[in-house]
Structure 1
């Protein structure tokens, strides 16, 4: 694979901004992004953000309609580093756990798993019932990584955007891609906090 490629899926869970931030960070890292958004994601975008569809799509290198089940990312022969679903709704989680590939987002996720590539799911729901937890366990057994976007307060975020950026960068890191702006404990972050405590 000559160029690093990542599939970005955005489903209809709250937290549309996580998908946008993932696209922005990956662009800064010169990673080729292939975007697919569920129909419900459009409703969340309209409700939670000021982005229009064209603005979001312009952040990706390639954009696919959710019904395009014959697209490149639906085939294992199309090489990628993996996929991030940000955010991942419980509906999408359940479909992946059940092997239901009824749209391009869930098909692409299924392909990533069968090819033994990395799949990071930023699952977004609370509280959780037993079915949610069992689906998380199932996809974990398949090889996926369940990564709820829980704010890392130790990083000292000052804005909502900083919290979103940190979670998105951590999720991207699980794909083997380290964004240079991500503060890491034991490196720059611990030293910064120690200096603040001494001041």
Structure 2
């Protein structure tokens, strides 16, 4: 059975997490449905030099954020999980308060209501009280708040290794058995 994943990209910094996740999910045989906010498109272009067309080519299916009638807006469209990488504080707040005003936040709401796995790679520091409360609300609803914090104990030699390590951990949490997160083996 093909694993169907919804991938969201917002305007928070860290666009490489979303693009690398799309590429790796494809390599593992997962079907991906992408939705990118307008700020996400700007940030992908700024950080990675990709335009919308190049970004959408990384996914099996791309949906416009205003297309509230897309398949991923309905719980009847079976998906394994959803990840938003990176996830802005604006999108986090909308999800925490059930404000599905665009396809990204509606798809996240559907993921939660259907009791499917939702991972948010939140990007902002330092956190203010509203951020923390919104993360708590999403966690209480069953979502997983996953700030993409690097694991230095593997002694990464490059930024690519740091990003890849995070992406593999995320894919493992999303249920892709073929993901290869590196485990701590002890001292």
TM-score, normalised by the number of residues in structure 2? 0.96
Distance 1:81-1:70 versus aligned 2 partners, 3 A rule:
same
Paired with 1:47 and 1:166, the residues of 2 have a C-alpha distance of: 23
Note the C-alpha offset of 1:174.
Answer: 1.1
Q: 1:105 maps to what in 2?
A: 104
Q: Is the 8 A contact 1:84 1:172 kept in 2?
A: no
Output the aligned Cα RMSD: 1.2
Paired with 1:96 and 1:25, the residues of 2 have a C-alpha distance of: 26
Instruction: Show the 5 A alignment for 1:30-109.
Output: 30-109=29-108
Q: 1:197 maps to what in 2?
A: none
Secondary structure of the residue aligned to 1:94 is helix
Structure 2, unaligned stretches of length 5 or more?
none
Note the C-alpha offset of 1:48.
Answer: 1.0
Q: 1:27 maps to what in 2?
A: 26
Paired with 1:146 and 1:103, the residues of 2 have a C-alpha distance of: 20
Aligned residues: 187
Q: 2:136 maps to what in 1?
A: 137
Note the C-alpha offset of 1:55.
Answer: 1.7
Which range moves more in the overlay, 172-181 or 55-64?
Answer: 172-181
Q: 2:172 maps to what in 1?
A: 173
Structure 1, unaligned stretches of length 5 or more?
195-199
Secondary structure of the residue aligned to 1:78 is coil
Residue deviations 1:49-94 (CA, integer Å, cap 9, x gap): 1222222111111000010000000000000001000000000000
Q: Is the 8 A contact 2:11 2:88 kept in 1?
A: yes
Q: Is the 8 A contact 2:3 2:176 kept in 1?
A: no
Q: 2:157 maps to what in 1?
A: 158
Note the C-alpha offset of 1:132.
Answer: 0.3
Asked which structure has the greater CA Rg, the reply is 1
Paired with 2:52 and 2:116, the residues of 1 have a C-alpha distance of: 28
Note the C-alpha offset of 1:171.
Answer: 1.3
Q: Is the 8 A contact 2:41 2:51 kept in 1?
A: no
Note the C-alpha offset of 1:184.
Answer: 1.6
Paired with 2:31 and 2:7, the residues of 1 have a C-alpha distance of: 10
Secondary structure of the residue aligned to 1:3 is coil
Note the C-alpha offset of 1:179.
Answer: 4.4
TM-score, normalised by the number of residues in structure 1? 0.90
Runs ≥4 in structure 1, deviation > 3 angstroms? 178-181
